[in-house]
Amino acid sequence: MAQSATSSRMKVSLVAVAATAALGATVLATSPTVSGVAVVAAADNTLTAQEQAAGWRLLFDGTSTKGWRNAHADTFPSKGWLVKDGILSVVESGGAEAAHGGDIVTLEEYGDFELKVDVKLTKGANSGIKYFVTEKLGTPGRGSAIGLEFQLLDDEMHPDAKMGRDGNRTFASLYDLMAAPASKPVKPVGEWNTAHIVSKGTKVEHWLNGAKVLEFDRASDAFKKLVAISKYKDYVGFGQAKSGHLLLQDHGNTVYFRNIKVKGAALPNT
């Protein structure tokens, strides 16, 4: 007997819930503090001596687009992005995906890495920070480049927050795959949030403002099940690259970035 559409949807939903539960979907940890030790923050787009000693490098110097290029191109976009007052921003163009300036990617690829980015949204904005972007997936010129995505979204105003499954398109989520918990420490639109991605081997963590909001293993069956019921199901090998570019998304809304820094070896393009 053929299954009803309702029955099929229920089974897909149960698979998603089970896979997400296996990967974890709560605030998992917070950054440790050092009692009695004064922490001196660096000026914007600079590194402290401690960060330099730990191997961090700047991916944005506050004045230029050095180290970045257009996805699927050799040069930086001639429109759609702006550097001003120490901030790199996407120019508003009506909300279309990669239809104006287009996504930008790092010149190098990364495998094991940590990435930190300060991001400030405008009302109703949509964007993302992608990683393991290979440019071998997808079709150049048709939408955003393909990769795992730390979602950046105004959850209150943008309709994408209510799409996908169980909130997996909300701020700090692994886009369309795994939801960040509702208890995440997100700051309001118009304030700066710090996104932090940690990748080691096949294990990945998303952190937001000092709290770990999700973790997953790219090699696990649970992750592969999530891919199989996501918008990425037709991309063979999605999420399995050993290295890839880091990407800032142009989704046609004004979004601001600063203090973009990475720790980990830069690798040649594959």
pLDDT string in tens for the chain (270-residue length): 444 444 444 444 444 545 555 555 567 877 765 445 555 677 999 999 999 999 999 999 999 999 999 998 899 999 999 999 999 999 988 767 766 778 999 999 999 999 999 999 999 999 999 999 987 765 555 567 899 999 999 999 999 999 999 999 999 999 999 999 999 999 999 999 999 999 999 999 999 999 999 999 999 999 999 999 999 999 999 999 999 999 999 988 999 999 999 999 988 776
- Classify residue 211: in a domain, yes or no: yes
Q: Kindly compute the dihedral angle of the four CA atoms of residues 104, 211, 168, 237, in this order, to the nearest 10 degrees.
A: 60
Rounded Cα distance between 148 and 132, Å, is: 6
Domain that holds residue 249: 5-263
- Classify residue 139: in a domain, yes or no: yes
- Classify residue 268: in a domain, yes or no: no
- Classify residue 188: in a domain, yes or no: yes
- Classify residue 99: in a domain, yes or no: yes
Burial class (CB in 10 A: 0-12, 13-18, 19+), 19: buried
Rounded Cα distance between 160 and 155, Å, is: 8
Q: Dihedral of CA 148/262/127/150: which sign?
A: positive
- Classify residue 270: in a domain, yes or no: no
| φ and ψ at residue 212, rounded to 5 degrees | -80, 120
Rounded Cα distance between 46 and 261, Å, is: 9
- Classify residue 73: in a domain, yes or no: yes
CA distances (Å), origin 68, targets 99, 106, 186:
18, 5, 27
Split into its structural domains, the chain has a count of 1
Are 14 and 6 within 8 A, CB to CB? no
Q: Which helix (H) or strand (E) holds 51?
A: helix 49-54
Q: For residue 185, what is the domain's CATH number?
A: 2.60.120.560
